[in-house]
């Protein structure tokens, strides 16, 4: 919900809507954060309390170690939670799973448009 551009601020979004991502999953957030070098823990059965949809897609909590025991940040380029959220939202659309889904979606749209044109002509 923190990174979802389909949510309002009241529903739990924590970053600007123009930087947010459409329906990010906990595994996508985990992949992005682990690639940078964070210690990441995903709790699959946890859920955001304000989320009304109980689907598996919306489940999961990602826990990241931001600071060491002495209080210094683990990674100096990410001093705050918000910096991690903005980085994750910026990087998730570049994941291979996201780019493959986009390509398949465009192909199905083109096929659908062609079928609609044919049906329109037959109605006369």
CA dihedral 70, 73, 75, 80 (to 10 degrees): 160
Instruction: Output the CA–CA distances (angstroms, integers) from residue 50 to 2, 3, 19, 33, 54, in the order listed.
Output: 11, 14, 21, 24, 11
pTM for this structure?
Answer: 0.72
For the cut 60, the answer to whether the pLDDT of residue 112 exceeds it is no
State the pLDDT confidence band at 114, using cuts at 50, 70 and 90. Answer: very low
What domains are there in the chain, each with its CATH number?
25-98 (3.30.56.30)
Q: What average pLDDT does this structure show over 54-72?
A: 87
């Amino acid at each position: 919900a923190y990174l979802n551009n389909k949510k309002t601020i009241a529903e739990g979004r924590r970053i600007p809507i123009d930087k947010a991502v459409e329906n990010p999953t906990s595994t996508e957030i985990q992949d992005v954060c682990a690639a940078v070098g964070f210690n990441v823990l995903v709790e699959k059965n946890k859920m955001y309390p304000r989320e009304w949809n109980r689907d598996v897609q919306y489940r999961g909590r990602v826990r990241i170690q931001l600071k060491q025991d002495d209080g210094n940040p683990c990674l100096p380029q990410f001093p705050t939670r918000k910096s991690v959220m903005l980085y994750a939202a910026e990087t998730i659309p570049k994941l291979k799973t996201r780019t493959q889904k986009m390509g398949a979606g465009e192909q199905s749209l083109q096929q659908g448009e062609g079928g609609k044109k044919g049906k329109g002509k037959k109605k006369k």
